[in-house]
């Protein structure tokens, strides 16, 4: 580890903290329907979209209607995207003559982009046409991110709206929340980011691929396309799906350290700002800062371990006199520090974009990205998804606190009772169900085992990482696994659906239950949820739940691999 590396990490953290209040304030005004500097231009467009959809900003929905609208919209997205890939060969804007995408891969990819996972069992530049990339995948990058933001806002309203005679028992309007998230937040920022990326050298063209001749006389095809526009939303919306197979390790997607820093900031910006949105909407910004502090503790710990493990290097290589950090699978232009930071950010925020190959990390370096996803990616998390994910752990934490002091648990004046606990536990348990059950089956299924690239514990980690990434809606991978097989395409797709919608529905059910509850004024016996004690309790709850659930599986993979590595053995 170096001082320069830590200074870059601290610079990143400082910029994110500086963005929280201004971006959070702007997002609060957007979702509250207040006027913003973009309103003169966007309000007519917004109202036109509502008219086309047959709804209005004055129309609120019960949580069941909100959930139904969300499910039908996402189902429609899967069908349209699947059809576009299957018909790709006959559609326009296909200068490279890409053929139709196979059925299982089309299913996997459609579910992947609609669920904000962006797992890619294909090379983008060799599989998808410009039309599929722009109108199919890129549109879903916006809509899946906006869906997550809408759910988070609906859950926040459950805490901020008081009950009583005449009070609304609704959580908002899905169509309005999604439209505002897209029009006022995602689209304007992405336009600016796209222009910045083009300035930094990222391609943005509809022209055909370029044929070049190397100095040795060999013919080479250089893939181009509308890269900058997809790059902007894939980062800001924590989608992660790259235009190129190498993702953000490709020089056309991530030319230098400036673009690398902008991409990392984009991944965390909206997720971190949501904590401030929460604080503002419930009338106590300290509540939001407490949540952000809990996220920050887990994040810094993860960065520290990963950076230390990668900087220490591989003792098996040291035995041959090759000293220094582990640079295998990393780009020289980023180095160990920025590769380690990017890996922790992208797995903490359900983004899945990578600027290094996680499968080439040391055992402990690869362990942290795995844990980040297995904890539900609540360390900032995806746009909206990370926030409603950590709310589930907050409910568990205050319930435990209530049991310890013998009082009915409550959070922000809302009683946490049996229904909320059941829904929270259901949502939390669906992730290990998808991750561990499919991993267990794949490790004994010959056709699934044949897809791993490395024997021993690292091979097990490849399978575990794949199903963890899918269920956590992350999309990154240990590169050694060949995932483009019928088994993995189908089961990973099912895991993505479980990880997305079996969390969303209980979260919305909690919102519907809480919004109908009467707000109880704080008293001398109320557990404060805006101080260090609560931060410690929340961090402990997240780690204990994750540790008890996943430690046995981790012991079979990265832990064993680390012990073997330090013992000087190899497989």
Q: What is the pLDDT of residues 100-113, one digit of tens each?
A: 999 999 999 999 99
Average pLDDT over residues 137-148: 93
Helix 335-348, helix 257-281: angle, nearest 10? 30
Helix H or strand E segment including 15: helix 3-31
CB neighbourhood size of 397 (10 A): 26
Q: Which residue has the higher pLDDT, 562 or 43?
A: 43
Q: How confident is the model at residue 168 (pLDDT cuts 50, 70, 90)?
A: low
Q: How confident is the model at residue 319 (pLDDT cuts 50, 70, 90)?
A: confident
Looking at residue 165, its pLDDT comes to 47
CA angle 542, 546, 547 (to 5 degrees): 115
Looking at residue 445, its pLDDT comes to 93
Strand partners, 226: 204
Per-residue pLDDT tens digits for 268-279: 999 999 999 999
Per-residue pLDDT tens digits for 211-233: 888 888 888 888 888 899 999 99
**Residue 524: pLDDT above 80?**
no
Q: Are 132 and 85 in contact (CB under 8 A)?
A: yes
Per-residue pLDDT tens digits for 401-441: 888 877 778 888 888 888 999 999 999 988 999 999 999 99
Q: Quote the mean pLDDT of the chain.
A: 90
Q: What single DSSP character describes residue 547?
A: H
**Best mean pLDDT range from 24-28, 241-245, 452-456:** 24-28
Give every CB contact of residue 569 below 8 A, 6+ residues apart in sequence: none
**Residue 77: pLDDT above 60?**
yes
Average pLDDT over residues 330-343: 93
Looking at residue 29, its pLDDT comes to 96
Per-residue pLDDT tens digits for 449-465: 999 888 888 899 999 99
Query: What span, in angstroms and rounded, lies between the C-alpha atoms of 233 and 191?
Result: 9
Q: Tell if the pTM clears 0.85, that is, is over it.
A: yes
Write phi, then psi, for 410 (nearest 5 degrees): -150, 155
First CA to last CA distance, the chain: 28
Tokens representing residue 40 in the block:
């003169």
Q: How confident is the model at residue 487 (pLDDT cuts 50, 70, 90)?
A: very high
**Residue 568: pLDDT above 70?**
no
Using CB atoms within 10 Å of the CB of residue 90, give its burial: 0 to 12 exposed, 13 to 18 middle, 19+ buried.
exposed
User: Hey, which bits of 54-143 come out as E strands?
Assistant: none
Looking at residue 368, its pLDDT comes to 93
Give every CB contact of residue 312 below 8 A, 6+ residues apart in sequence: 325, 326, 362
Looking at residue 382, its pLDDT comes to 84
CB neighbourhood size of 226 (10 A): 18
Q: How confident is the model at residue 65 (pLDDT cuts 50, 70, 90)?
A: very high
DSSP string, 231-245: HHHHHHTT----SST
Residue spans of the domains in the chain: they are 21-283
Q: Are 462 and 358 in contact (CB under 8 A)?
A: no
CA gyration radius, the chain = 23
DSSP string, 270-326: HHHHHHHHHHHHTT-HHHHHHHHHHHHHHHHHHHHHHHHHHHH--HHHHTTT--S--
CA angle 549, 152, 266 (to 5 degrees): 90
Query: What span, in angstroms and rounded, lies between the C-alpha atoms of 471 and 298?
Result: 21
**Residue 394: pLDDT above 60?**
yes
Query: What span, in angstroms and rounded, lies between the C-alpha atoms of 387 and 485?
Result: 34
Percent over 70 (pLDDT), the chain: 98
Strand partners, 205: none
Q: Are 292 and 279 in contact (CB under 8 A)?
A: no
**CA nearest to 37, candidates 26, 48, 28:** 26
Average pLDDT over residues 517-533: 83
**CA nearest to 180, candidates 13, 27, 284, 23:** 27
**Residue 95: pLDDT above 90?**
no
Looking at residue 570, its pLDDT comes to 54
CA distances from 408 to 52, 396, 415, 533 (A): 46, 13, 7, 18
Looking at residue 74, its pLDDT comes to 94
Query: What span, in angstroms and rounded, lies between the C-alpha atoms of 128 and 105?
Result: 12
CA distances from 434 to 368, 383, 384, 508 (A): 19, 22, 21, 20
Average pLDDT over residues 287-299: 95
Looking at residue 547, its pLDDT comes to 76
Q: How confident is the model at residue 446 (pLDDT cuts 50, 70, 90)?
A: very high
């Amino acid at each position: 580890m170096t001082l320069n590396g830590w200074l870059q990490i601290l610079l990143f953290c400082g910029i994110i903290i500086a963005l929280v209040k201004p971006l959070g304030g702007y997002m609060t005004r957007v979702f509250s329907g207040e006027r913003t500097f973009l309103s003169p231009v966007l309000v007519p467009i917004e109202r036109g979209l509502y008219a086309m959809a047959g709804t209005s900003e004055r129309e609120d929905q019960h949580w069941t209607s909100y959930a139904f609208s969300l499910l039908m919209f996402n189902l429609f997205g899967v069908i349209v995207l699947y059809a576009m890939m299957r018909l790709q060969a006959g559609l326009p804007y296909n200068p490279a003559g890409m053929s139709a995408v196979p059925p299982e891969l089309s299913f996997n990819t459609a579910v992947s982009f609609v669920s904000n996972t962006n797992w890619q069992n294909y090379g983008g530049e060799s599989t998808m046409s410009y039309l599929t990339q722009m109108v199919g995948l890129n549109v879903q990058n916006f809509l899946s991110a906006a869906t997550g933001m809408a759910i988070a806002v609906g859950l926040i309203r459950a805490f901020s709206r008081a009950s009583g005679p005449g009070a609304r028992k609704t959580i908002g309007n899905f169509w309005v929340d999604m439209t505002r998230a897209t029009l006022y937040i995602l689209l304007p920022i992405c336009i600016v980011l796209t222009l910045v990326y083009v300035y930094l050298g990222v391609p943005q063209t509809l022209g055909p691929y370029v044929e070049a001749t190397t100095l040795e006389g060999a013919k080479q095809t250089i893939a181009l396309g509308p890269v900058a526009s997809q790059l902007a939303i894939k980062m800001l919306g924590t989608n992660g799906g790259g235009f190129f197979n190498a993702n953000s390790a490709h020089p056309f997607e991530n030319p230098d350290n400036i673009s690398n820093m902008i991409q990392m900031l984009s991944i965390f910006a909206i997720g971190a700002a949501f904590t401030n949105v929460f604080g503002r909407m419930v009338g106590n910004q300290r509540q939001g800062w407490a949540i952000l502090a809990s996220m920050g503790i887990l994040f810094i710990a993860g960065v520290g371990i990963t950076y230390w493990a990668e900087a220490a290097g591989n003792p098996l290589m040291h035995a041959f006199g090759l000293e220094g950090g582990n640079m295998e699978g990393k780009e020289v232009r980023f180095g160990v520090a920025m590769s380690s930071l990017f890996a922790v950010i992208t797995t903490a925020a359900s983004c899945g974009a990578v600027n290094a190959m996680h499968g080439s990390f040391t055992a402990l370096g690869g362990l942290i990205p795995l844990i980040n996803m297995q904890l539900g990616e609540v360390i900032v998390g995806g746009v909206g998804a990370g926030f409603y994910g950590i709310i589930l752990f907050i409910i568990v934490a205050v319930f435990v606190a209530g049991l310890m002091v013998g009082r009915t648990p409550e959070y922000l004046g809302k009683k946490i009772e049996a229904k909320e606990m059941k829904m929270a536990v259901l949502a939390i348990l669906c992730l290990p169900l998808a991750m561990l059950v499919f991993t267990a089956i794949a490790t004994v299924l010959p056709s699934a085992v044949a897809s791993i690239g490395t024997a021993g514990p690292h091979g097990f980690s490849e399978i575990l990482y794949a199903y963890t990434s899918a269920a956590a809606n992350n999309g990154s991978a240990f590169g050694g696994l060949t995932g483009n097989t019928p088994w993995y395409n189908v089961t990973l797709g099912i895991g993505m659906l479980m990880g997305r919608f079996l969390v969303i529905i209980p979260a919305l059910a909690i919102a519907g239950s809480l919004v109908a509850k009467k707000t109880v004024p704080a008293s001398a016996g109320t557990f404060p949820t805006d101080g260090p004690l609560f931060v410690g309790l929340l961090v402990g709850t997240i780690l204990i739940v994750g540790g008890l659930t996943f430690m046995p599986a981790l012991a079979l993979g990265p832990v064993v691999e680390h012990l073997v590595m330090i013992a000087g053995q190899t497989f």
